[in-house]
Chains A and B, each alone.
Chain A
Amino acid sequence: MRPLTLRRLLLQCTVLLAILFGVVIVAIKFGAVPVSLYALGRDMWGVLFHQRSGISTDYVLIIQNIRLPRILLGIIVGASLSVAGTSFQALLRNPLADPYVLGVSSGAGLGAILALIAEPHLNLSPMLAALLTPLGAFIGAAATITAVYFLGRRDGQIDGNTLLLGGVITGSFISAIIMFLMSTLSGNLRGLSFWLMGELSTPLQKSIYWFLGIGFFAAAGAIYTTASDLNLLLAGEKEAMHLGVDVPRVRLVVYIAASFLTGLAVSVSGAIGYVGLIVPHVMRLIFGSDHRTLLPTAALGGAIAVVFADTLARTVVAPSELAVGAVTAVVGAPLFIYLLRRRLA
C-alpha cells in the first residue's frame, strides 16, 4: 500500500468532483423539457449582477424545482449506497457484497412498506410521520444484514459463497413477502411496485433533503473513523485483532452506519441495485484499496454513477420515465457476473 498523503487524497477528490460537476451539468441540460444552458447562464448572470428579483423563465422553474432536487437526491443516494457497499465488502471480506445483492435493500424496502402500513394507525405529527419510513427502512436493513451475517457464517468464520447465497435467498424471501403484502393490501401500496425498482422521480419536502444530507455525513463520517481498521480487517478478523483492532466495536459501528445509509437511500429511492458493487470496484482499480481514499472516492463515484443513470432513465423514453434501478441493473448485473467468474478462476 502506498503511503497516503493529503495532497493525493485532495487531488483524487478534486478530479472526481470535477467529473461530478460535469455530470450534473449534463443532468441539468437533458430531460423531457429542453433547456438552453446559455440562456440559463445569461439569466443567472442577470440575477447575480443586475439585481434582478428572480428568474422567471420556464426552464429555470424546472431546474430549481425538479431537476436540481432530483440531482441532489441522486448524489446522496448514490454516495450512500456506494459507501455502504464499500463497508460491507470490507467487513465481510467479500468483494461481491453490496446492499442489493445481500438483500439489505429488500429488507429496507420491507421495513419502509411496513412503516407506510402502520403510519395511518399511529396518529403521529407530520414531521414524525415523515421520519417513520426512513426509520422502518433502517430497521429492516439492520435486521436483514444481521440475518445474512449469521447465515453466512460457517465454523465461526464468514464463508464468501455461503454469505452471497444467504443474501440472495434472504432477498428473494423478503421480495416474496413484499409481493404478498402488495397483493393483499390494495390501495396506495400499488404505486410501490415501481418504487421497488428504484426511482428518484418524486420531489420531496425540503426538510427531507436536510435530513438526508446530515444523516449521510454522520453515518459516512462514522465509517470513515474506522477506515484504517478496515484496511487491517482485509487481512482477516483474527489478524486484525492481533494488530490491535477492536474488531467487535468496528463491526458494530460499520454495520449500524452502513445499514443506516442503505435504509436512508432505500426509503427515498427504492432499491437501486449494483451501485454499491460496481462503483467501489472501479474506484479500487483506479485508486487502490486503502479505505482512507476508497471511502471518499467511492462516495463521489456513486454520486456520479446514480446521477448519470438517472439522466439516462429520464431521457431514453421521454416524456415517460424508466426506473433508474433498471438502468443500473442493466449495467451492473453483467459486471457482477464478470467479477464473479474472475474470482472463481
Chain B
Amino acid sequence: MKEFSRKRLRTIIAAAIAVLFSCAAVARAQSASPLSPTSPTYREVTDETGRTVRIPQPVNRIVSLAPSLTETVYALGLQDHLVGDTEYCDYPPEAQKKTKVGDTINPSLEQIAVLHPDLVLVTKGLNRLETVHGLENIGISSYATDPHTVNEIASSSKKLADVLGAPDAGASIAIEMEHHLADLQQHLASSPPKRVLFVVWHQPLISVGKHTFIADALRLAGAVSIVDSDQDWPHVSLEEVARLQPDFLVFASTHSDTAPATVEMLATLPGWNIVDAVNNHHIAVISDAVNRPAPRIISAIEDLARQLHPDAFVKKLEKEKDRNEKATPVPVQPPPSPLAFLSSAPQHNEAIPGGCACAR
C-alpha cells in the first residue's frame, strides 16, 4: 500500500478536476453560440399565472400542450400555425394529425425544440411547472392559461387570441359564448337547479371541487354539485353520496354510444345500489367537452341543461328550429349549434368568418 502516496493522489484528483472543468468550459463556450440568428421583435405580456412572458412577434409557430388549448387554437382559426400538440389532442379530428410532442405531463422537450415554436401554450390545471421551467431554460417562450369559470374560459380565449394575433376572432368567440349562455339562462330561469354528482372517475369515486370550471359549468346548466370541496379533484365516499342523494349522476364520455353500457354496469358494482339516482336511472351522459376549458364547453353545458331540464326546452323548440335553418343538424347530438366551433361535427370551412356570420 505504500507505493501509493496521498500526495500523489491529491495531485491526480486536482488534475482530474481541472480536466473536467476545462471540458465544461469548452461545452459552455460552445453553447454560447446564438440560438436564433435573427433577433425578432418581442412583446411582453402577463399570462394568467402572473408570469411576464416575452413573445416573439408575430406568432407563426405554436405548440399546444393541452387538448383544450388545441381546441381553442382551432376555434380561433389559427390551426395552420399549430405545428405540434399532444397525444391527447383529439378534437377536432384533424388535430390528431399534427406532430405529437408526447403527453401533457411529460412531453419531449426535444420534440418541441425541433418544431421551433414561437410560443408554447400550457394550462396550469394540466401541465407541470417543471415543463415550463425546462422550456424557459432552453429559451422557448410559453404562455399559461388558468381559467376557473366558464366566463373565464371566454375571457381566457379572448386574451389568448390577442396574444396569438387574432383579436377579432377572440372577441367574436367570447361574444358567441356569452350569447349562448344568456340564451340558456332564459330557458332555465324558472327551473330550480338539480342536485347532481359529477363523476370524474368511479373507482375510486372522484368528483369536482367548487373552484373548478366544471362546477361552474354545472351551475350554468341548471345543476348544483352536491360536493362542496376546496380541493379540485376530491375523493368522495359512497356513503357521503348516499347521505346527500343527488337527483342525477353526470358522466362525461368521449364515445356517447358506449357510455350507457358503462353506466349500466354501475348498478351492478357493489355499493352503488344505495344511490337512488343509479336505481332510478337518473344518469346524464354528456360530451367530454365539459372536461376541457375551451369554447366547445358551451355545447356540453347546453346538452346537460336539456337532459336535466327537458321541460324548459319543449316550448321553444319549434322557434329555435326556425332560427337555425342554416345550420346542419347533427343526428345524434340534440342541440343543433349555429356555431362552427361549438358543433361536434368536424368542420372544414374557415372557422371564424364562416362560423360567426349567422350570429351577427
| Most B Cβ at <10 Å: residue of A5, A64, A210, A224 | A64
User: Is B129 a contact partner of A65 (Cβ separation < 8 A)?
Assistant: no
Query: Does A155 lie at the interface of the complex (its beta carbon under 8 Å from any beta carbon of B)?
Result: no
A4/B110 contact (C-beta < 8 A), A55-B33, A206-B28, A319-B101 known: no
Interface residues of B in 220-270 (CB under 8 A from A): 231-232
A31 to B109, CA, bound (A): 11
Interface residues of A in 185-235 (CB under 8 A from B): 186, 188, 190-191, 194-195, 199, 201-206, 209-210, 213, 217, 221, 224, 228
Query: Does A119 lie at the interface of the complex (its beta carbon under 8 Å from any beta carbon of B)?
Result: no
Shortest distance in angstroms between B6's beta carbon and chain A's nearest beta carbon? 8
User: Is B129 a contact partner of A203 (Cβ separation < 8 A)?
Assistant: no
Chain A residues closer than 8 Å to B138, beta-carbon distance: 65-66, 203
Chain B residues closer than 8 Å to A31, beta-carbon distance: 108, 110
Shortest distance in angstroms between A87's beta carbon and chain B's nearest beta carbon? 17
A61/B108 contact (C-beta < 8 A), A5-B3, A56-B37, A292-B4 known: no
Interface residues of A in 143-164 (CB under 8 A from B): none
Query: Does B332 lie at the interface of the complex (its beta carbon under 8 Å from any beta carbon of A)?
Result: no
A209 to B103, CA, bound (A): 27
User: Is A204 a contact partner of B108 (Cβ separation < 8 A)?
Assistant: no
Shortest distance in angstroms between B109's beta carbon and chain A's nearest beta carbon? 5
Chain A residues closer than 8 Å to B13, beta-carbon distance: 221, 224
Query: Does B326 lie at the interface of the complex (its beta carbon under 8 Å from any beta carbon of A)?
Result: no
Identify A61's interface contact among B17, B87, B114, B131, CB under 8 A: B114
User: Is B20 a contact partner of A213 (Cβ separation < 8 A)?
Assistant: yes
User: Is A61 a contact partner of B137 (Cβ separation < 8 A)?
Assistant: no
Query: Does B100 lie at the interface of the complex (its beta carbon under 8 Å from any beta carbon of A)?
Result: yes
Chain A residues closer than 8 Å to B12, beta-carbon distance: 6, 10
Chain A residues closer than 8 Å to B137, beta-carbon distance: 202-205
User: Is A68 a contact partner of B106 (Cβ separation < 8 A)?
Assistant: no
User: Is B1 a contact partner of A191 (Cβ separation < 8 A)?
Assistant: no
Chain B residues closer than 8 Å to A66, beta-carbon distance: 109-110, 113, 138
User: Is A4 a contact partner of B1 (Cβ separation < 8 A)?
Assistant: yes
Give the nearest-CB partner of B139 in chain A: A65
Chain B residues closer than 8 Å to A6, beta-carbon distance: 3-4, 8, 12
Query: Does B107 lie at the interface of the complex (its beta carbon under 8 Å from any beta carbon of A)?
Result: yes
User: Is A319 a contact partner of B128 (Cβ separation < 8 A)?
Assistant: no
Query: Does A67 lie at the interface of the complex (its beta carbon under 8 Å from any beta carbon of B)?
Result: yes
Interface residues of A in 171-190 (CB under 8 A from B): 183, 186, 188, 190
Shortest distance in angstroms between B294's beta carbon and chain A's nearest beta carbon? 21
User: Is A65 a contact partner of B31 (Cβ separation < 8 A)?
Assistant: yes
Query: Does B130 lie at the interface of the complex (its beta carbon under 8 Å from any beta carbon of A)?
Result: yes
Chain B residues closer than 8 Å to A201, beta-carbon distance: 106, 109, 130, 134
User: Is A186 a contact partner of B231 (Cβ separation < 8 A)?
Assistant: yes
Identify B232's interface contact among A59, A72, A186, CB under 8 A: A186
Q: How many residues of A contact B (CB 8 A)?
A: 50
User: Is B128 a contact partner of A194 (Cβ separation < 8 A)?
Assistant: yes
Query: Does A62 lie at the interface of the complex (its beta carbon under 8 Å from any beta carbon of B)?
Result: yes
Query: Does B324 lie at the interface of the complex (its beta carbon under 8 Å from any beta carbon of A)?
Result: no
Query: Does A320 lie at the interface of the complex (its beta carbon under 8 Å from any beta carbon of B)?
Result: yes
Give the nearest-CB partner of B4 in chain A: A4
Chain B residues closer than 8 Å to A292, beta-carbon distance: 4, 9
Chain B residues closer than 8 Å to A46, beta-carbon distance: none
Query: Does A330 lie at the interface of the complex (its beta carbon under 8 Å from any beta carbon of B)?
Result: no
User: Is B113 a contact partner of A188 (Cβ separation < 8 A)?
Assistant: no
A6 to B6, CA, bound (A): 11
A58 to B113, CA, bound (A): 8
Query: Does B182 lie at the interface of the complex (its beta carbon under 8 Å from any beta carbon of A)?
Result: no
Chain A residues closer than 8 Å to B1, beta-carbon distance: 3-4, 228
A237 to B272, CA, bound (A): 62
Chain A residues closer than 8 Å to B114, beta-carbon distance: 33, 58-59, 61-62
A54/B33 contact (C-beta < 8 A), A65-B139, A321-B102 known: yes
A203/B111 contact (C-beta < 8 A), A55-B33, A68-B27, A224-B13 known: no
Query: Does B358 lie at the interface of the complex (its beta carbon under 8 Å from any beta carbon of A)?
Result: no
User: Is A203 a contact partner of B4 (Cβ separation < 8 A)?
Assistant: no
Identify B108's interface contact among A58, A59, A206, A320, CB under 8 A: A320
User: Is A320 a contact partner of B87 (Cβ separation < 8 A)?
Assistant: yes
Query: Does A286 lie at the interface of the complex (its beta carbon under 8 Å from any beta carbon of B)?
Result: no
User: Is A191 a contact partner of B108 (Cβ separation < 8 A)?
Assistant: no
User: Is B113 a contact partner of A61 (Cβ separation < 8 A)?
Assistant: yes
User: Is B113 a contact partner of A62 (Cβ separation < 8 A)?
Assistant: yes
Query: Does A318 lie at the interface of the complex (its beta carbon under 8 Å from any beta carbon of B)?
Result: yes
Query: Does B30 lie at the interface of the complex (its beta carbon under 8 Å from any beta carbon of A)?
Result: yes
Shortest distance in angstroms between A297's beta carbon and chain B's nearest beta carbon? 13
User: Is B134 a contact partner of A319 (Cβ separation < 8 A)?
Assistant: no
Chain B residues closer than 8 Å to A183, beta-carbon distance: 231
User: Is B17 a contact partner of A191 (Cβ separation < 8 A)?
Assistant: no
Query: Does B133 lie at the interface of the complex (its beta carbon under 8 Å from any beta carbon of A)?
Result: yes
What residues of chain B have their CB less than 8 Å away from a CB belonging to chain A?
1, 3-4, 8-9, 12-13, 17, 20-21, 24, 27-28, 30-31, 33-35, 37, 87, 100-103, 105-111, 113-114, 116, 128-131, 133-134, 137-139, 231-232
Please give 13 more A-B residue pairs, beta carbons under 8 A apart, in addition to A4-B1, A32-B102, A319-B101.
A3-B1, A31-B108, A33-B108, A33-B110, A66-B113, A68-B31, A199-B106, A201-B109, A202-B134, A203-B109, A210-B24, A314-B108, A319-B107
